[in-house]
Amino acid sequence: MRILGIDPALKITGYGVIALASKCEQNHAANRKNFFLLEAGIITTSARELLPQRLKKIYQATAKLLSDTRPDVVVLEKLYAHYRHPTTAYILGQARGIICLVTAKKKIPLVEYSATRVKKAVVGRGLAPKSQVQRMVAHLLGLKSLPKYTDVTDALALAIAHSYIAKFKI
């Protein structure tokens, strides 16, 4: 199974694709990994571009990503809007909407988890700091260093969390 985690934003959208290892692969692997990193990266847009062009770029890049990586499921973080920052939620909602549209057009299941549920699945604590999530993601995937963008780490955390939640129904 391939899981694509996406951390949507208008400026930098992070993504990460992991593949779940089969029981046979887990038994033969020395470290008995449950999943493997296939691809990770970012989709960027410029503030100098008009909003429709930025959303089009996210749409096209996401469509290509789905075609290239062929995930079985896409995972997004549930939208959390703080009342002090309504504009941020509005902008984030547009990027999320584009990603939801692409997954629907490609007929790929989409699941959403709250940030606290993702942190609890990956770290064991729903209120874990972002730095702890980053280190745990790097450890679980056997990365020698943290990804340059936290958006990538967040996307990978979404994919990892789904692998645990779907497997154990936590």
Number of domains in the chain: 1
Q: Is 151 part of the annotated catalytic residue set?
A: yes
Q: Is residue 77 among the annotated active site residues?
A: yes
Query: In the chain, which residues have pLDDT < 50?
Result: 24, 26-31, 170
Which residue in 49, 68, 112, 151 is the catalytic one? 151
pTM of the model: 0.90
Q: What is the pLDDT of residue 69?
A: 97
Q: Which two tokens stand for residue 161?
A: 């969390």
Q: Are the CB atoms for 160 and 121 separated by under 8 Å? A: yes
CB 155 within 8 A of CB 11: no
- Sheet holding 35-44: strands in order across? 35-44, 12-20, 2-7, 73-77, 110-113
The residue annotated as part of the active site, out of 39, 77, 112, 154, is 77
Any idea what the CATH number is for the domain that residue 60 is in? 3.30.420.10
Residue 33's pLDDT is 65
pLDDT at residue 82, rounded to an integer:
66
Structural domain range at position 156: 2-168
Residues 6+ positions from 96 with CB-CB distance below 8 Å: 8, 76, 79
Per the CB < 8 A criterion, the answer to whether 30 and 167 are in contact is no
> What confidence score (pLDDT) does residue 135 get?
95
Per-residue confidence (pLDDT) for residue 28, from 0 to 100: 46
Residue 24's pLDDT is 47
pLDDT of res. 167: 72
